[in-house]
Amino acid sequence: MFGFTSKCLLSLICFGLINYELVDASDIPKNDENKPHIIFILADDLGFDDVSFRGSNEFLTPNIDALGYHGKILNRLYSSAICTPSRGALMTGRYPIHTGMQHYVISNEEPWGLPENVTMLSEIFQKAGYSTNLVGKWHLGFGKREFTPTHRGFDYHYGFWGGFIDYYQRRNKMPVRNVSMGYDFRRNLELECADIGTYVTDLFTHEAERIIMANNNTKPLLLVVSHLAVHTANDQDPLQAPEEEIAKFQYIKDPKRRIYAAMVSRLDQSIGRIIHALEKANMLQNSIVAFQSDNGGPSVGLFSNSASNFPFKGQKVTQWEGGVRVPGVIWSPLLHKRGSIFQPTMYIGDWLPTLADAANIPLSRSGLRLDGINLWPALSGDSFNQSKQKLDREIVHHLDDIWHVVALLQGDWKYVNGTMASGRFDTLLTYRELYDIDPRSSDYFAAVANSTTSQILRRYDASTLERKLVNKLRYEAAIRCGNGVQRSCNALLEECLYNVAVDPCERNNLASSPEYGDILRRMRRRVEQHRHTAWPTNNRRGQSEYDPSYHRCTWTNFLQDTPTDDYLVCGNDGPPCESAN
């Protein structure tokens, strides 16, 4: 509990108003030989209700659920609403407004990335002696080499640089009219041609296993597994999963949702395989394994994969809970009181100081200017002063003055001003499926207990995971919308104010109640304060010379690459170069 009681409580009072500062290096016991391995698994566009630990029986995620039941369910975990901002916050511990990443994602043909003068999590861990590895998606820029993972603190990267690829050919066609299809798959800076045609969720899992086995406990490991799953592939074939996986979900009538379930299932199995590899490499007893989605699922519209964020309104891209509150779990033998629900509000930017503390890495008091908070003492310890936290915890969900969207959380209060997509996604977009039922859900407990993850993690439990506990946690993790007075809010025209602790479904706008006038005014003022600290956005327009057709049909470091008309990418078996249409 080093340093928690004095300094962390102080910062609990101050966070939001003052940049969070970690404890002095001198407070931290040196324990270099025993730093924990950290395995962080990020899903892409996975909906809030597309894991089964919240109660859905449509298709089960026994491995993810088991990770939570043997560890902790992160009940109120928030991310940004889209990929680039949330990955930026994860990697820097800062709000997107404090890195210039707040406005919109990096489209592949755009020459910008996360500013080089901001320190990243990977750089911190690399400097502290960790072996740092990224498997999968990056999406923080690749226009020049200096933006890419191996220049940003990762010793090793296997995967893709851009927003998405397809699951077999690893090519990307951005939904931009005059940009052509390009190949995007690398091992470090080199194009990686091996295994084209193998389902990429399995490839990433296999690569994670390989890294773990090769590490074999020789060096503290940071492994970020950043899955493509369950993002859509290219437009003409957006949902992709192996036939044998889809066959397991024949009972799902909606054909899109059926394939989606198979994509989620493969992702779920990935967690089981990673846990198994850690156990085989004798690393699990000193590991922290965390899993979360990068943002809400896109139920409809661009990149919609048929995800469900039930019962929240909104989805990916929006400031509603369906866009920013995400599924997440953590497991580690270093956590006390496992088999519980972690209630405090948590932000994706908290991982940097939290994991650094877990690894005894002192962070510079002034240099990082973190917005994230060190939750390791709370996560790993037994208790947490929730009432204190409730008063103070703040998250800037959105502050974008280009599209005029603001969303701020302070304690239980959420202030919303403006909305995305002209309000088209401002409702509950999906309902929980009650008729297409996973046959395994007739004995949900057995399905969870039978998962690879549970079979292995139970060896670390003081007492057997019981049906009663699983049912209790699942019941408590279910979201209850409450049935207070319904006062809707048109965020295009008016400010909205919700108490999300009792009204997580944002159905009862309190902005016009005189009773809450002080809160409304306080939050408005706070938005203004944040507005003054926001960096200008980094976004830059794409240009035609960045098109893959000028770069051997690949997405490459176009600011440095010499255009050529050599169209061979990965030998003669490589993908053809498809032009823009």
Query: Which pairing describes strands 37-43 and 287-293: parallel, antiparallel, or unpaired?
Result: parallel
Nearest CA-CA partner of 394 in 354, 350, 363, 356? 350
Q: Can you read off the two tokens belonging to residue 510? A: 């309190």
Q: Is 364 in the site for ligand NAG (CB under 6 A)?
A: no
- Catalytic residue, chosen from 37, 70, 98, 139, is 139
- Catalytic residue, chosen from 8, 70, 83, 231, is 83
Strand partners, 370: 20
Q: Is 420 in the site for ligand NAG (CB under 6 A)?
A: no
Chain residues 478-497 in contact with ligand NAG, contact rule CB under 6 A: none
Of these, 143, 418, 548, 575, which contacts ligand NAG (CB under 6 A)?
A: 418
- Binding-site residue total for ligand NAG (CB under 6 A)? 23
Stretch that binds ligand NAG, among 69-77, 358-366, 423-431, 541-549 (CB under 6 A): 541-549
Is there a contact between 160 and 148 (Cβ–Cβ < 8 Å)?
no
Q: Which is nearer to ligand NAG, 277 or 378 (CB)?
A: 277
Stretch that binds ligand NAG, among 65-73, 535-543, 552-560, 568-576 (CB under 6 A): 535-543
| 496 has catalytic annotation | no
Stretch that binds ligand NAG, among 255-263, 304-312, 438-446, 505-513 (CB under 6 A): 438-446
Stretch that binds ligand NAG, among 182-190, 514-522, 539-547, 571-579 (CB under 6 A): 539-547
Give the list of residues 6+ apart from residue 156 with CB closer than 8 angstroms, or none.
131, 132, 133, 134, 150, 188, 211
CB of 1 to ligand NAG, least distance (A): 32
Of these, 543, 567, 568, 576, which contacts ligand NAG (CB under 6 A)?
A: 543
Q: Which is nearer to ligand NAG, 109 or 166 (CB)?
A: 109
How many whole angstroms separate alpha carbon 317 and alpha carbon 563?
Answer: 35
| 83 has catalytic annotation | yes
Q: Is 46 in the site for ligand NAG (CB under 6 A)?
A: no
With H, G, I as helix, E, B as strand and everything else as coil, classify residue 92. helix
Chain residues 148-207 in contact with ligand NAG, contact rule CB under 6 A: 178-179
Q: Is 404 in the site for ligand NAG (CB under 6 A)?
A: yes
| Residue whose entry in the numeric block shows the structure tokens 């899955």 | 227
Q: Is 383 in the site for ligand NAG (CB under 6 A)?
A: no
Q: Is 535 in the site for ligand NAG (CB under 6 A)?
A: yes
Of these, 3, 55, 115, 362, which contacts ligand NAG (CB under 6 A)?
A: 115
Q: Can you read off the two tokens belonging to residue 313? A: 């309104």
Could you tell me the strand order of the sheet in which 340-347 lies?
Answer: 190-191, 186-187, 156-160, 131-137, 221-226, 37-43, 287-293, 328-331, 72-78, 340-347
Q: Is 524 in the site for ligand NAG (CB under 6 A)?
A: yes
CB of 247 to ligand NAG, least distance (A): 16
What is the distance of C-alpha 277 from the center of its chain? 22
With H, G, I as helix, E, B as strand and everything else as coil, classify residue 137. strand
Q: Is 527 in the site for ligand NAG (CB under 6 A)?
A: yes
CB of 215 to ligand NAG, least distance (A): 9
Measure CA of the first residue to CA of the last residue in the chain; give whole Å: 59
Nearest CA-CA partner of 80 in 429, 403, 325, 409? 325
Q: Which is nearer to ligand NAG, 367 or 571 (CB)?
A: 367
Q: Is 547 in the site for ligand NAG (CB under 6 A)?
A: yes
Of these, 5, 188, 216, 529, which contacts ligand NAG (CB under 6 A)?
A: 216
How many whole angstroms separate alpha carbon 435 and alpha carbon 438?
Answer: 9
Of these, 18, 446, 502, 568, which contacts ligand NAG (CB under 6 A)?
A: 446
Q: Can you read off the two tokens belonging to residue 45? A: 């566009």
How many whole angstroms separate alpha carbon 92 and alpha carbon 119?
Answer: 6
Nearest 5°: the CA angle 308, 258, 431 is 30
Nearest CA-CA partner of 372 in 387, 343, 390, 351? 351
Q: Which is nearer to ligand NAG, 116 or 237 (CB)?
A: 116
Q: Is 423 in the site for ligand NAG (CB under 6 A)?
A: no
In the bound state, the residue with its beta carbon closest to ligand NAG is: 544
Stretch that binds ligand NAG, among 296-304, 422-430, 445-453, 502-510 (CB under 6 A): 445-453
How many whole angstroms separate alpha carbon 228 and alpha carbon 160?
Answer: 9
Q: Is 55 in the site for ligand NAG (CB under 6 A)?
A: no
Angstrom CA distances, 271 to 87, 209, 463, stand at 20, 11, 23
Nearest 5°: the CA angle 71, 75, 78 is 120
Q: Can you read off the two tokens belonging to residue 200? A: 């990429």
Q: Can you read off the two tokens belonging to residue 70? A: 């043997």
Q: Which is nearer to ligand NAG, 134 or 406 (CB)?
A: 406
CB of 178 to ligand NAG, least distance (A): 4
HEC sequence for 201-259 = HHHHHHHHHHHHHHHCCCCCEEEEEECCCCCCCCCCCCCCCCHHHHHHHCCCCCHHHHH
Half-sphere exposure of 486 (CA within 13 A, CB side): 6
Stretch that binds ligand NAG, among 13-21, 137-145, 442-450, 501-509 (CB under 6 A): 442-450
Catalytic residues: 83, 139
Applying CB under 6 A, which residues contact ligand NAG?
Answer: 109, 115, 117, 178-179, 216, 404, 406, 417-418, 440, 443, 446-447, 450, 524, 527, 535, 542-544, 546-547
